[in-house]
């Protein structure tokens, strides 16, 4: 999950990476990043979970799902089929 420093509310951008604990150096426009386990992302998108566990600055914490920049139908229409085609989820 990423958020641009110069962006207004609701203009967050996401990064989708399939590398275990990858090293990622965000550009200067990125204010903050958090790692989200796939099962937590699924709970948020498919089950409307109110809280999501993330790893931010090496610490696990719970954030409200409504703090995310949400793109309706993006997860079930684009991301979930991509994951299923590769056998990464059911």
3-class state of residue 21 by DSSP: coil
Say whether pTM exceeds 0.75.
Answer: no
- Band (1; pLDDT cuts 50, 70, 90): very low
- Band (70; pLDDT cuts 50, 70, 90): low
Domain ranges of the chain: 2-85
Cα three-residue angle 52-54-59, rounded to 5 degrees: 140
* Best CA proximity match to 80, nearest among 35, 41, 51: 41
User: Could you give the CA distance from residue 36 to residue 60 in angstroms, rounded to a whole number?
Assistant: 10
> How confident is the model over 32-53, as a mean pLDDT?
87
> How confident is the model over 24-42, as a mean pLDDT?
80
């Amino acid at each position: 999950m990423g958020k641009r420093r110069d962006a207004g509310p609701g203009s967050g951008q996401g990064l989708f990476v399939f590398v275990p604990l990858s090293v990622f150096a965000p550009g200067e426009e990125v204010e903050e990043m958090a790692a989200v386990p796939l099962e937590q992302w699924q709970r948020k998108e498919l089950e409307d979970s109110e809280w999501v566990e993330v790893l931010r600055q090496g610490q696990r914490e719970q954030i409200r799902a409504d703090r995310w920049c949400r793109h309706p139908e993006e997860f079930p229409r684009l991301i979930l089929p991509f994951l299923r085609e590769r056998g990464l989820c059911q």
